[in-house]
């Protein structure tokens, strides 16, 4: 892995911020999939709305106290990160989630709207975008995450698939619950994830792979809980 992270400065070593650590864990998840995959052909198809599961699930370990005590230590004293600071970090992720999720879903719906038009069609981009947002009831205080003229994802591999970020989040939050249920370092759960997800990705139906790991189809509640959109899961 080659990453563009904070460099050492003067007498200070390279100290990564939280976002950089999350990126490191995320990309390492992709690396693990490549290392463990038993797919003999590099070009085999991986479902686009499944491809981020191996990476995004790794981000959940970043602020888990059991792991933080191992790696997040003061560079001079070796003291683990204080529990109160960890608690603040966990609570900070709930800030502005209503806005964040609305703008993300608005962009996903706009992307899908373009790719469900019937050919041939002439589209005035600005009018189409405005009419669509009015149609879905997007309030003026919240706009789409991207405007059409610079929404690169709709013409760069993610076309009609921008929703996959949110769907992958449903998968990774639900999958991580399996680890939380048994312990975040539970070996049997980890081996099941490796055997049913990382080794098989691109060679089997994505939902079947997930069911083989989780024992059921994914549920949305863990995502809503993780983002603070619901307070508890019954």
Q: How do the pLDDT tens digits run along the chain, 234 residues long?
A: 899 999 999 999 999 999 999 999 999 999 999 899 888 776 557 788 898 999 999 999 999 989 999 999 999 999 999 999 989 988 999 999 999 999 999 999 999 999 999 989 899 999 999 999 999 999 988 888 888 988 888 887 778 889 998 999 999 999 999 999 999 999 999 999 999 999 998 888 999 999 999 999 999 999 999 999 987 655
Tens digits of residue pLDDT in 142-184:
888 888 988 888 887 778 889 998 999 999 999 999 999 999 9
Concatenated DSSP letters for the chain? -----PPPBTTB-----HHHHHHHHHHHHHHHHHHH---S-TT----TTTTTHHHHGGGGGTT-HHHHHHH-B-TTT-PBPPHHHHHHHHHHTTTTHHHHHHHHHHHHHHHHHHHTSPSS----HHHHHHHHHHHHT--TTS--SS-GGG-GGGGTT-TT-TTHHHHHHHHHHHHHHHHHHH-TT-HHHHHHHIIIIITTTTSS-HHHHHHHHHSS---SHHHHHHTTSSS---
Give the CA count within 13 Å in the CB-facing half-sphere of 144: 22
Specify whether the CB–CB gap between 109 and 136 falls below 8 A: yes
Q: Which two tokens stand for residue 26?
A: 């995320």
Specify whether the CB–CB gap between 103 and 143 falls below 8 A: yes
Specify whether the CB–CB gap between 74 and 46 falls below 8 A: no
For residue 192, how many other CB atoms are within 10 A of its CB? 17
What pTM did the predictor assign? Answer: 0.88
Domains of the chain listed by start with CATH number = 16-234 (1.10.1370.40)
Catalytic residues: 27
């Amino acid at each position: 892995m080659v990453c563009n992270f904070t460099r050492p400065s003067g007498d200070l070593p390279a100290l990564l911020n939280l976002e950089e650590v999350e990126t490191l864990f995320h990309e390492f998840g992709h690396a693990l999939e490549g290392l463990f995959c038993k797919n003999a052909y590099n070009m085999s198809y991986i479902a686009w709305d499944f491809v981020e599961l191996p990476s995004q699930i790794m981000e959940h370990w970043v602020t888990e106290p059991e792991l933080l005590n191992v790696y997040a230590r003061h560079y001079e004293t070796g003291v683990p990160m204080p529990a109160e600071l960890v608690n603040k970090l966990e609570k900070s992720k709930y800030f502005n989630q209503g806005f964040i999720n609305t703008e993300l879903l608005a962009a996903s719906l706009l992307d899908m709207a373009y790719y469900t038009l019937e050919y041939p069609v002439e589209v005035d981009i600005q009018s189409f975008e405005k009419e669509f947002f009015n149609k879905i009831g997007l309030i003026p205080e919240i706009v789409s995450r991207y405007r059409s003229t610079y929404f690169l994802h709709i013409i760069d591999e993610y076309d009609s698939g921008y929703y996959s970020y949110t769907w992958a989040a449903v998968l990774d939050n639900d999958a991580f619950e399996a680890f939380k249920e048994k312990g975040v370092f539970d070996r049997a759960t980890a081996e099941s994830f490796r055997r049913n997800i990382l080794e098989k990705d691109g060679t089997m139906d994505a939902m079947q792979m997930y069911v083989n790991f989780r024992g059921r189809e994914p549920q949305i509640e863990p995502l809503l809980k993780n983002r603070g959109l619901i307070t508890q899961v019954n």
